[in-house]
Structure 1
Amino acid sequence: MFDQNRLFYVLFGLVVIFQTSSCHKTIKNYGAYCANDTARGDPNLIPIDESQPRFINKVENGTLYQIGAGEDQVWLIHVYGNTGYDFGYAYGTLLRDQINKVLPRAWAHFEEEILKELKNLKLPKWFVDFVVDKGLSFALDIQNDLVKKYMDEEVYNEMRGIADAAQVDYKTVIRLHMLGEITRGRCSLYGLWGNATLGGKTLQLRALDWDVDGGLQDYPVITIYHPLTSKLGHPFANVAWAGYIGTLTGMSSLRLGISEIGVSFPDDTFGDESMAGLPFIFVERHILQFSETLDDALSFIANVRRTCHLILGVADGKLGTARMVQYSHSIVNFFDDQNLQPLADWHPRIPHAIYSGMDWLCPSRQYKLYKAITDQYGQITPELSIKNITSVVKTGDLHVGVYDLTDNIMYVANARGTNEQGPMEAYKRQFVKVDLNVEFARTR
């Protein structure tokens, strides 16, 4: 075994590797990308698919549907249960084929990307030898050991249920969920309400700009959770891929929405990071699963043991407002439209709006999102956002979620899958409409 100091450098090195490989840009190139990307994208003129879910299969504690048309179809799965294992077993049974296809492909891709980056980064030889010798699996097992005591045991039970039903390795399922903590992703978000939107609706954007080469978009899944006991919270919707139960995108039955941005370019207001704490994908999931109000969500964020540098967005359709969160291990700050940060000429404040484009210090992307919002100000609907905001700003490579938290409706698009046609980026593709009033009310 190696000592704790060496463990620290190993884990720190992995953070560097993943941050520089995310979106296939080094830190240097990504900085230039933020500074110089001023070209506007074209509007997305593809009609939104509003067709009804099509029944596919049913098992105890689960029902599988498909939504969307043509190449832009999404699996819609409902799981019911008294335990996390109930959720996972139904999920793994209904999506066994998809899980067994995406898991090895995605895992092989991420391993390859790490080894590729090792050759280009100036890292100590002992560290390079360590990663080559021990591999990604070993490092992620260490990561899991560091977070285990902060995790909800029912989440592990759910992963166990997936592994048992889909007949995949349980440790591999866990490792998949540790990747988010060190890859994060470059994304955009907004929360709009009051005068910013048509009719004063509360809207939220979650645009995920992440790796489109791992095949995740071949198996997009929206999971509707139906707890049958209060210890599992209340119904919520999670947007991800087959086998992935952490939350990056989603809405709750109590009309809370969540968004997230990984931060590569913080300023000195962020504080430090830690590898030990509750992974942010499960912080976000806890908010959707257990928080009843915006205040509940912000209180949880303030008191949970946090980990890395992030920007979170939380919106509440009941209260008709949203907050942006500056998030790190040691510091957390909450912003509304009156005190939004960073305050700069490239990131002005907008009444009844919080927003962030791609990173904390990313002037061109921040300003593009500002312009897109203000150009449509007062008239913004989910449809207009899909047409003239995400597509013009060019954000949401892997998937995009637009939430109508007033009417409890979600719009989702995914990147082009293998052997599919048309544009690669999700924001250029067809969105599907999901009426969560209907989906949350579905019973066994």
Structure 2
Amino acid sequence: MFSQSRLYYLFIGLFLVIQTSSSYKPSSIKNLGAFCANDTSHGYPNLNPIDQSQPRLINKVENGTLYQIGSGDDQIWLIHVYGNTGYDFGYAYGTLLRDQIHKVLPRAWTHFQQEIIDSLKDLKLPKWFENIIVNQGLDVALDFQNELVKKYTDEEIYNEMRGLADASQIDYKIVTRLHMLGEITRGRCSLYGLWGNVTLGGKTLQLRALDWDVDAGLQDYPVVTIYHPRTSKLGHAFANVAWAGYIGTLTGMSSLRLGISEIGVSFPDNTFGDESMSGLPFIFVERYILQYSETLDDALSFISDVRRTCHLILGVADGKLGTARMIQYSHSKVNFFDDQNLQPLADWHPRIPNAVYSGMDWLCPSRQYKLYRAIIDQYGQITPELSIKNITSIVKTGDLHVGVYDLTDNIMYVANARGTDEQGPKEAYNRQFVKIDLNIEFARQQ
């Protein structure tokens, strides 16, 4: 006999199957690359136990404390920085992670220089910018790009990068150049925001799966930074998931229980607007949301008003309100979606009650449908643990790192790709996740 709850979820599944009969009108999906058109393979459940060990104190300096979390080959640096200025943040960070910064940034810079030159034809950059890279070098191009975005970027961001460079004694220009790379490379990623009936107990959950370059060595030095502003001009406490020397936000949660996700779009359609290299880089748009926005409405208003740059899909979830939004993002257009109007609406990307989601790109049928199926298969029972076991690993998304946010209980789960000389699976979604209780970390005093 089926229980009433089981019958309810079977009904939801039937409703969603019927709904998939809709077709997608705005643009043809012909001529997509093999990445999005043909990948229908599925992965295996991630059966690794989640590491729940306590942070281990490593070092302490003025305005900063360094811990390690995780175990074995899946350890992560957990750094707390405190300050009245961005420079305070950066100097503490650079002091505590000097060795790691020197090992990862020069290697990453060398790798990306060659990688971008080798793949210029696939990046769809403006011809004038491509010519600068070819004729004068990537360093000159990124320095020029930095000049284009400076007037839109908070001065405290540059102060933080300067403090990081001064303390770690690394070239400041390498730091700024690496923070411009996201606008060029973007990455293929996946996200969801789930709430209400789709999750166990009605929790608000969010996925940020980062599918980016695993050959640059970034995963050798994964870092979760907890920011503790000592003045309101620097916003409120937030957690940023990245690598040694990187202060932009791709993955993170705020102390006000907002979460952020992002997908670079390589396959847009005619519902997107145009792009620009002049505006606030998206890694700082996302950081602003975590650092300064108090509500979901604050975040959406900021996205609407900011000078945007490239084609993206953003996800913002709010654990206080118990909901999430997906944003279609470009320089000239922005559209906000919930579970009732989610786009693109197609048989390979149906709407799901109490969910927004996107798999790997905008027009990416096989990847979108795999994520849809994984959510539907777990509908009504989804927890962070179940998502780790049966969603990201089955869909095979999040090769560089994965963040799963419990925005109801303020807990984050993080995994990173296999580092150099480490053992086990390569992709983050197949590796051990580390549980971080942000209630404790946001309240931690120096």
Match of 1:355 in 2: 357
- TM-score, structure 2 length as denominator? 0.91
- Cα distance, 1:172 vs structure 2: 1.1
Aligned match of 2:306 in 304, 314, 335? 304
Range with bigger deviation, 169-178 or 111-120: 111-120
**Please, what is the CA RMSD of the aligned residues?**
1.9
Corresponding residue of 1:243: 245
The match for 1:186 is 188
Structure 1 residue 114: Cα displacement: 2.5
Report the CA distance shift for 1:339/1:57 in structure 2 as closer, same or farther (over 3 A): same
SS in 1 for 2:247: coil
CA distance in 1, matches of 2:120, 2:357: 34
Per the alignment, residue 105 of structure 1 pairs with 107
Once residues 244 and 406 of structure 1 are traced to their aligned partners in structure 2, the CA distance between those partners, rounded to angstroms, is 28
Question: Relative to 1, partners in 2 of residues 1:197 and 1:127: Cα closer, same or farther, differing over 3 Å?
Answer: closer
For residues 75 and 205 of structure 2, the distance between their equivalents in structure 1, rounded to whole angstroms, comes to: 24
Q: Aligned in 2, Cα 1:30/1:267: closer, same or farther, shift over 3 Å?
A: closer
Residue deviations 1:394-441 (CA, integer Å, cap 9, x gap): 000100000000000000000000011111100000000000000000
Which residue, 269, 272, 275 being the options, matches 1:273? 275
- Read off the aligned partner of 1:283 and give its amino acid letter: V
Aligned position for 2:297: 295
Give the partner amino acid of 2:265.
Answer: V
Q: 1:86 to 1:377 in 2, by over 3 A?
A: same
**Structure 1 residue 117: Cα displacement:** 3.1
- Superposition pairs for residues 8-407 of structure 1, below 5 Å? 31-117=33-119, 131-407=133-409
CA distance in 1, matches of 2:133, 2:161: 26
Distance in 1 (CA, whole Å) between partners of 2:440 and 2:127 is: 56
Letter in 1 for 2:406: D
In 2: Cα distance, 1:122 partner to 1:315 partner: 30
- Deviations 1:125-155 (Å, cap 9, x if unpaired)? 9998853442111000010011000000000
* CA distance 1:30–1:439, change in 2 (3 Å): farther
The size of the alignment, in residue pairs, is 417
Cα 1:236–1:431 shift into 2, 3 Å:
same
Match of residue 18 from structure 1: none
Structure 1 match to 2:24 = none
Cα distance in 1 for residues equivalent to 2:143 and 2:290 = 27
Letter of the 1:77 partner, please give it.
Answer: I
Aligned-pair distance for 1:113?
Answer: 1.2
Q: Which of 429, 441, 444 is matched with 1:442 structurally?
A: 444
User: What amino acid does structure 1 have at the position aligned with 2:443?
Assistant: A
How far off its partner does 1:118 sit? 5.4
Counterpart Cα distance in 2 of 1:128 and 1:176 = 17
Give deviations 1:287-312, integer Å, cap 9, x for gaps: 00000000000000000000000000
Whole-angstrom distance in 2 between the partners of 1:268 and 1:127: 23
Any conservation in 1 of the 2:123–2:185 contact (CA below 8 Å)? no
TM-score (norm 1): 0.91
- The change in CA–CA distance for 1:56 and 1:130 in structure 2 (over 3 A counts) is same
Counterpart residue identity of residue 54, structure 1 = R
**Percent identity of paired positions between Structure 1 and Structure 2:** 85
* Cα-to-partner distance string for 1:257-308 (whole Å, 9 max, x where unaligned): 0000000101101010010000000000000000000000000000000000
Taking structure 1 as reference, are residues 198 and 128 closer, same or farther at Cα in structure 2, changes over 3 Å only?
closer
1:88 is paired with a residue of what secondary structure? helix
SS at match of 2:133: helix
CA distance in 1 between counterparts of 2:430 and 2:351 reads 28
Secondary structure of the residue aligned to 1:71 is: helix
Aligned residue for 1:25? Answer: none
- The change in CA–CA distance for 1:322 and 1:126 in structure 2 (over 3 A counts) is closer
Change (3 A) 1:63 1:206: same
**How much has 1:34 moved relative to structure 2?**
1.1
Which sections of structure 1, spanning at least 5 residues, go unmatched?
A: 1-27
In structure 2, stretches of 5+ residues that fail to align are: 1-29
- The aligned amino acid for 1:434 is I
Q: Which amino acid aligns with 2:298?
A: D
